[in-house]
Amino acid sequence: MSSSIINNIKYLNEKAVRQLVTAHQQLTDEPLVLVIRYNFDDPNGNIYLLEVLDKFPGSDNEELLATQFGPSANLRIVGDLHLALGSPAQVQAAAKRRDSVVKAVSIDGEVVFEDGSEQADELKRELGLL
């Protein structure tokens, strides 16, 4: 693949991540605490995000909810969006278990949003991002 194509894919994906995070910041029933992008070297142009949401449903030790979306008119990306969702407690439990998402985040995770809370800082520490 030429460098201009790679740069275009990177641009589209970065723009999609910004738009997605901005949209999710507007949700008040499950406020965003932290969003981490990871697995940047995916050869298919896929986007991987871990979203930590306050008041996310489920028990504290429940596994993260993993979902996948393809490109659409509202989400202009080249590959698919792989989204892992969880509450702060669920992410802490995943970190203790060393779930695959946590392992991937620890390799090349990059914070794209944080709410500025102590909770967000603690989660970043537990995920190996501080």
Residues 52 and 96: their CA atoms lie apart, in Å, by 16
- Order of strands, sheet of 110-114, starting from the edge strand that comes earlier in the sequence: 65-69, 81-86, 47-53, 32-38, 110-114
Owner of token pair 């979306």 = 69
* DSSP state at residue 105: H
**pLDDT tier, 16 (very low <50, low <70, confident <90, very high otherwise):** very high
* pLDDT confidence of residue 6: 84
Task: Check whether 1 has a pLDDT greater than 80.
Answer: no
* pLDDT confidence of residue 122: 98
Determine the structural domain holding residue 73 and report its residue range: 3-126
Taking only the tens place, the pLDDT of each residue in 67-111 is 999 988 888 888 999 999 999 999 999 999 999 999 999 999 999
CATH number of the CATH domain containing 23:
3.30.460
Task: Check whether 48 has a pLDDT greater than 80.
Answer: yes
Taking only the tens place, the pLDDT of each residue in 20-41 is 999 999 989 999 999 999 999 8
pTM, 2 dp: 0.94
* pLDDT confidence of residue 76: 84
Residues 32 and 108: their CA atoms lie apart, in Å, by 21
Instruction: Measure CA 32 to chain center.
Output: 11
* pLDDT confidence of residue 72: 85
Total number of domains constituting the chain: 1
